[in-house]
């Protein structure tokens, strides 16, 4: 009985990978547990072990093949007495799981399970899949782009790594510390290669000790070093939040300006995919609440690089909130080693006249896709990428809303006391007379993140909800 061996998923967010190498050849006998192949993503290299016993009857995907989708048959295992010549390639196990099959036509990008993969990560909006994680349609160029800077297309993962590496080359006081940042090369491969370049003095694996190493980092910063503290995810930073707030954020003030805390706390924040309530929380509003902290949440590779470099150079503690879903997304980044983006400045992503969509981090993927949908309805949306949550670029928010008179704020986290609530409040306080309709929020639902694929999809904001909100306030 022939069995298909399928391309495995290495992580909750993996959708495709490279079949790097076959370690068995056709005709080889394999036992369960034997390593038969190696596969790679941009994040990791993993060995594929045989689950069943038999003979490797036929290799379907040759070594070196790139972009092999998860669940694609890569080989056929045959039983005793069968010969490779008898093998009929079994039908690809391509049926997506029930949740994806029954998904609403407009699906949120963050939540497609790995097995229901589209071609690029993150999984695409089924209704308007243009093969990209978001729409750059009508995108406004960055200043450096308009100025003709030389760029290369790199992922946000690479951009973050390059930012740290460049700053470490520039300033001996900068070091990176966290769980699995050195030998493992980063749990999400953000610190790939740093140990090799900078050595174990400056790229430091910690024990699983968030509270302790956050405090150690804050203390080292008090002594004048410039730590970059990686949290494997910000969910774990709750163990350390006392040191971030009570020590890092407040010491300058409590010391009458004597003791600075030049430190960056960074790592992925918010929902990844299918990792459920304890690993899927958006902490942006928590840190946004605290004077003394700066809070950055980039949506793309260029901003990630420019803002992380700015954060490392900043004399204040910066909470730098990344997003796992966005790590693999590529974008143009200037090649200049001195490229920094200013903290505290929003970026006009798309100019429009009918409504302002305000988002940041992964919220930008929803906003940009929603704008494309809205255009089909004849609604011209402007999109503002906040980029920095604290200090918040109130001026940019107000000038856009004063122009359009309408606004929807998009936030993956919970609505109550969220960043969206703050944005709405500033608009109402300072631009009330310019509003033609209530300002609405499209947010994560007020529940802990469920595990089930269909429920997770329901818990996150959707493009349909944004379109609906815009239609409600434009009366169309």
Partner 1 sequence: MAVAAKKASQASTNAKSADSPRIGHKSVGSWTHQQDMAAYREMLLIRRFEERAGQLYGMGLIGGFCHLYIGQEAVVTGTRMMLKPGDQVITGYRDHGHMLACGMDPKGVMAELTGRSGGYSRGKGGSMHMFSIEKGFFGGHGIVGAQISLGTGLAFANKYRGNDNLCVASCGDGAANQGQVYESFNMAELWKLPIIYVIENNRYAMGTAVSRASAQKDFSRRGISFDIPGEQVDGMDVRAVKDAVERAAQWCRGGNGPIILEMQTYRYRGHSMSDPAKYRSKDEVQKMRDEHDPIEMVKTRLLANKVANEDDLKKIDAEVRAVVTEAAEFAQTSPEPDPSELWTDVYA
Check residue 56 and report its DSSP letter: E
Backbone angle region of 425, left / alpha / beta, with phi > 0 → left and psi within -120 to 50 → alpha:
alpha
Phi, psi of 296 (to 5 degrees): -120, 140
Q: Which of 223, 378, 446, 475 binds partner 1 (CB under 8 A)?
A: 223
For position 254 contacting partner 1 by CB under 8 A, the verdict is yes
Q: How far apart are CA 133 and CA 301, in angstroms?
A: 12
Q: Which of 141, 253, 395, 417 binds partner 1 (CB under 8 A)?
A: 253
For position 206 contacting partner 1 by CB under 8 A, the verdict is yes
Only one residue has tokens 């048959």, namely: 73
Provide the mask over 296-315, with x wherever binding to partner 1 is found by CB under 8 A and - wherever it is not.
-------------------x
Minimum CB separation of residue 342 from partner 1 in Å reads: 14
Only one residue has tokens 């608009």, namely: 427
Backbone angle region of 131, left / alpha / beta, with phi > 0 → left and psi within -120 to 50 → alpha:
left
Minimum CB separation of residue 430 from partner 1 in Å reads: 20
Residue 159's H or E segment, with its range, is helix 156-170
- Candidates 64-72, 286-294, 321-329, 447-455; binding stretch for partner 1 (CB under 8 A): 286-294
Which residue, 120 or 250, has its beta carbon nearer to partner 1? 250
Q: How far apart are CA 257 and CA 261, in angstroms?
A: 11
Q: Which of 85, 148, 256, 378 binds partner 1 (CB under 8 A)?
A: 256
Which residue, 27 or 199, has its beta carbon nearer to partner 1? 199
C-beta separation of 76 from 2 below 8 A: yes
Q: How far apart are CA 135 and CA 325, in angstroms?
A: 16
Q: Which of 92, 97, 224, 395 binds partner 1 (CB under 8 A)?
A: 224
Which residue, 227 or 270, has its beta carbon nearer to partner 1? 227
Q: How far is CA 259 from CA 74, 102, 242, in A?
A: 58, 56, 18
* Coil, helix or strand at residue 457: helix
Which residue, 76 or 177, has its beta carbon nearer to partner 1? 177
For position 216 contacting partner 1 by CB under 8 A, the verdict is yes
Minimum CB separation of residue 174 from partner 1 in Å reads: 11
Which residue, 88 or 258, has its beta carbon nearer to partner 1? 258
Q: How would you list the strands of the sheet with 35-40, edge to edge?
A: 45-49, 35-40, 16-22, 65-69
Minimum CB separation of residue 294 from partner 1 in Å reads: 8
* Coil, helix or strand at residue 394: helix
- Candidates 67-75, 214-222, 278-286, 372-380; binding stretch for partner 1 (CB under 8 A): 214-222
For position 457 contacting partner 1 by CB under 8 A, the verdict is no
Q: Which of 201, 376, 378, 475 binds partner 1 (CB under 8 A)?
A: 201
Q: Which tokens hold the place of 189?
A: 């491969």
Q: Which tokens hold the place of 231?
A: 């949290």
Q: How far apart are CA 407 and CA 403, in angstroms?
A: 10
Give, in degrees to the nearest 5, the angle at Cα 390 between 354 and 212.
140
For position 289 contacting partner 1 by CB under 8 A, the verdict is no
Residues forming the active site = 210, 279
Which residue, 175 or 414, has its beta carbon nearer to partner 1? 175
Minimum CB separation of residue 218 from partner 1 in Å reads: 6
For position 291 contacting partner 1 by CB under 8 A, the verdict is yes
Which residue, 175 or 327, has its beta carbon nearer to partner 1? 175
- Candidates 70-78, 145-153, 290-298, 360-368; binding stretch for partner 1 (CB under 8 A): 290-298
Only one residue has tokens 């963050």, namely: 110
Q: How far apart are CA 329 and CA 324, in angstroms?
A: 10
- Candidates 83-91, 179-187, 203-211, 447-455; binding stretch for partner 1 (CB under 8 A): 203-211
For position 443 contacting partner 1 by CB under 8 A, the verdict is no
Minimum CB separation of residue 318 from partner 1 in Å reads: 11
User: What is the number of alpha carbons within 13 Å of residue 399 lying toward its C-beta?
Assistant: 9
C-beta separation of 232 from 177 below 8 A: no
For position 213 contacting partner 1 by CB under 8 A, the verdict is yes
For position 212 contacting partner 1 by CB under 8 A, the verdict is yes
Q: Which of 94, 152, 255, 417 binds partner 1 (CB under 8 A)?
A: 255
Minimum CB separation of residue 250 from partner 1 in Å reads: 8
For position 221 contacting partner 1 by CB under 8 A, the verdict is yes
Minimum CB separation of residue 291 from partner 1 in Å reads: 5
C-beta separation of 367 from 162 below 8 A: no
The alpha carbon of 92 is separated from its chain's Cα centroid by a whole number of angstroms, namely 30
Q: Which tokens hold the place of 450?
A: 């469920």
H-only helix segments in 377-435: 394-404, 419-431
Tally the residues of the chain.
476
C-beta separation of 128 from 372 below 8 A: yes
For position 251 contacting partner 1 by CB under 8 A, the verdict is yes
For partner 1 (CB under 8 A), the number of binding residues is: 40
For position 438 contacting partner 1 by CB under 8 A, the verdict is no
Residue 305's H or E segment, with its range, is helix 301-313
Respond yes or no on whether the N-terminal peptide bond of residue 391 is cis (omega within 30° of 0): yes
Q: Which of 33, 148, 207, 378 binds partner 1 (CB under 8 A)?
A: 207
For partner 1, the binding residues (CB under 8 A) are 175, 201, 206-207, 209, 211-225, 242-243, 246-247, 251-260, 262, 291-292, 294, 315-316
């Amino acid at each position: 009985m022939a069995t298909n061996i399928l391309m495995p998923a290495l992580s909750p967010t993996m959708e495709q990978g490279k079949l790097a190498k076959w370690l068995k050849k056709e005709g080889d006998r394999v036992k369960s547990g034997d390593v038969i192949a190696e596969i790679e993503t941009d994040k990791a290299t993993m060995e594929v072990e045989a689950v069943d016993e038999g003979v490797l009857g036929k290799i379907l995907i040759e070594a070196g093949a790139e972009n092999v989708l998860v669940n694609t048959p890569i080989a056929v295992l045959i039983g005793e007495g069968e010969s490779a010549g008898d093998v009929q390639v079994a039908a690809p196990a391509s049926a997506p799981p029930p949740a994806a099959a029954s998904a609403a036509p407009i699906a949120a990008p963050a939540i497609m399970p790995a097995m229901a993969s589209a071609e690029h990560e993150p999984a695409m909006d089924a209704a308007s899949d243009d093969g990209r994680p978001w729409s750059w349609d009508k995108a406004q160029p960055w200043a450096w782009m308009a100025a003709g800077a030389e760029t290369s297309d790199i992922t946000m993962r690479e951009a973050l790594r390059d930012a740290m590496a460049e700053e470490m080359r520039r300033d001996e006081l900068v070091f990176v510390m966290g769980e699995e940042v050195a030998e493992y090369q980063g749990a999400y491969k953000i610190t790939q290669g740093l140990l090799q370049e900078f050595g174990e003095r400056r790229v430091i694996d910690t024990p699983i000790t968030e509270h302790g190493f956050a405090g150690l980092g804050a203390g080292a910063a008090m002594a004048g070093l410039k730590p970059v503290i990686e949290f494997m995810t910000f969910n774990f930073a709750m163990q350390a939040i006392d040191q971030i707030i009570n020590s890092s954020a407040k010491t300058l003030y409590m010391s009458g300006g004597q003791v600075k805390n030049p430190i960056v706390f960074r790592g992925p924040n918010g929902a990844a995919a299918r990792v459920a309530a304890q690993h899927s929380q958006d902490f942006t509003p928590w840190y946004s609440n605290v004077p003394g902290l700066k809070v950055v949440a980039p949506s793309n590779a260029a901003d990630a690089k420019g803002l992380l470099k700015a954060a490392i150079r900043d004399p204040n503690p910066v909470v730098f909130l990344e997003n796992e879903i966005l790590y693999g997304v590529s974008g143009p980044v200037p090649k200049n080693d001195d490229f920094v983006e200013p903290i505290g400045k929003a970026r006009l992503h798309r100019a429009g006249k009918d409504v302002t969509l305000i988002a940041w981090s992964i919220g930008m993927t929803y906003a940009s896709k929603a704008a494309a949908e809205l255009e089909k309805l004849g609604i011209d949306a402007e999109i503002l990428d906040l980029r920095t949550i604290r200090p918040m670029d109130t001026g940019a928010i107000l000038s856009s809303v004063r122009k359009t008179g309408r606004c929807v704020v998009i936030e993956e986290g919970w609505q109550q006391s969220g960043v969206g609530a703050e944005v709405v409040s500033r608009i109402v306080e300072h631009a009330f007379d310019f509003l033609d309709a209530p300002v609405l929020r499209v947010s994560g639902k007020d529940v802990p993140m469920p595990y089930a694929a269909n429920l997770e999809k329901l818990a996150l904001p959707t493009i349909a909800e944004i379109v609906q909100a815009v239609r409600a306030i434009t009366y169309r």
